[in-house]
A and B are shown apart, each in its own frame.
Chain A
Amino acid sequence: MSSRRALRQLAAAVLSLLVAGCGRHEQVITIGFVGPLTGDQAPQGDDMLNGAELAVEQAAAQGPVIPGYRLAFMPLDDQRSPTQAVAAAKKLVADPNVMAVVGHLNSSCTMPASAIYHQARVLQISPVSSNPQISRQGFDTFYRTCATDDLQGPAAAIFIVKDLGAQRVFVLDDMTTYGRGLANELIKKLTALHAEVLGHEGITQGDKDFVPLLTKIKSLNPDLVYFAGMFPEGALLIKQRTQVGLSSRFMGGDGLFDPVLIDLATPQAAEGVYLTTIGSDIHQILTAQSFVKAYEARFGPIGAYSSYAYEAASIAIWAIRTAGVKDRAAVLAAMKTLRDYPGIFGPQNFDAKGDSLIRDIGIFTVKDGRFAFVKTATWDTR
């Protein structure tokens, strides 16, 4: 599906080049987008792309963002690889029409790419990269519309100890910037809550056989196994844990929040799995409903990351509109003046580091083969 989408975009790009080439000289302002559009995370990348594309389309339909300029959209693929992410970032900043970038998905991609955008003074808004270190680099070009893992980790820890009553926890992560960071935040809070962390181990992305590891975990008899990572590996862990007869509860982070997880793990094995999500249930937020309706009419069921990409792209467009001139520094300056932006999650504000002040963490569980909203988590970072 994603390859067809890529083809479609290629065709659109070629067409626009042809039109631009033979027509009159038209001024363009470009919003860049980067995410994994091929590879195992392509479904999430597509969800993000759709959200951002919808925001750009809606803005373009309302007339020019700056009089005399056409709003263009340039999606690039980072294949969830940090190397590709940097290459894409360099390509975008080299284009003088690019005023802002929406991306990337993975923290491990956003981290190195953020330095490129900072150097080129290009506004970057990441929809979902949640590693707290990214905004601590001190880049004034960086913003994000999601809550960070130093909230998600503690929220999960509180839920594990207080709501589930689990005391003995085994922690797994996928050794990426996101996974390791989230796992460390979780462990910090678990320790503070006097829960016992039986072990902390990493797995390799792309690996398939976790039976020996799960057998070892089974012999330790934990109350709960937590996995900080993405859904392809998460699904295998969930499935293989039933094969080895590991009966403890299973919980994960927002990297697991994709319906494909339940397909891959099979609904029987996934039943009762818990996970935290950045933000609350999108279907229960009143201000988000017109977006949800427009999205689902255009692309079908909404993905976990679609709304964040839509929000990020809308804010980038707002900053360009507010700046009123095609100038990267002016866009950055305009971004600093943002107060109570009427976003889909409610009034949107950012702190000095560029992190969103909307910090809801949701808790979901798998029930009858679907994600069911449990509650909005409580968290504190103490």
Chain B
Amino acid sequence: MGRVLTKSSIMTQTASAAKKTASTKAKAGSGVKQTSGPKKARTKKKQGQAFPFTAIVGQEEMKLSLILNIIDPRIGGVLVMGHRGTGKSTTVRALAEVLPSIERVKDDVYNRTVSQYIEMEKSAKGGRTLKPENLTIEDIPVPVVDLPLGATEDRVCGTIDIEQALTSGVKAFEPGLLAQANRGFLYIDEVNLLDDHLVDVLLDVAASGRNVVEREGISIRHPARFVLVGSGNPEEGELRPQLLDRFGLHARIITITDVERRVEIVKRRREFDDDPQGYFKKWEKEQKKLQDQIQKAQALLPSITMNDDVLTDIARLCMQLGIDGHRGELTITRTAHAFAAFRGDKEVTMDHVREIAGLALRHRLRKDPLETLDPGEKIERELAKVLGEAEEV
């Protein structure tokens, strides 16, 4: 100890430091948190039992969007906007329990796969290749990382390990939330209130898929690909257009107005509050069922086909709606694939597209201050036109 680390040895430092600590085995359902380096036990109270995802009444749009993003993370995340007190964050926090697991190199703070690990460590070790058989792998639940509004930039991106630096002058990198979220979900509640400063960081990382930290002899690049999930109430403020555009899907949430369903919500909530564990047990079967369905869909996804006609119709729809760029088409296509997979269908049809078009396009319509028509209706209308034309041909 006490030696000054060179650029190249830092990666290994973090990696080996991480290996020494059996990182807090991520318990299913808790926000996955890890620390690197030899640490004293932190006062990390495990998060309480989350409400079962399958027990959430209504809000199908939000639930479907989240599920489709699990099936295909390339969809690009979900923005959930809507009324207060309608279970937005409850639903997102419930997500962890239905997520499948992923394989990573044991205790790797960046959740890397074996091949990613070898690839990255190769450059750090001056070209020496690690052999896969020398690495231990483990299954962890897909991480769901909560980014609180008050987070500072260094904790988001990662920074020097203060304790090690203070005691021995060692510059060890301590990964931040972006590292933890790699290959998982990054959730920001009240995303429309997030500090501009952090929004810039997120946009940067979301676009490149990697996080770069350069500072006084620390130079770290690590993969940071995550499904961005944001929620908020539109009345509290608007979202920056660039950030809005980053989200693959946009789900809307409204207050449920059916009395019986509201009674059911209250009953479930109270029952859960009385005995969270017991209540969760009650829903275990449903949870398992959904999890299986998701896993099947994931397996099915690569083999799903889509007719060129459908693609043409999608392109025409986006054109008629005047959507700039190609992100709209791309998202709608991916989402339709994931949706077909979730349904267990082998081919994407316009029926699938119809169901998800609103989710994929709602936030991409050009904003016209004088427009009174709801974006959803507008999409519906144009979709009908496109489909009508298709039939005529």
A binds B: no
Binding site for B on A (CB under 8 A): none
Binding site for A on B (CB under 8 A): none
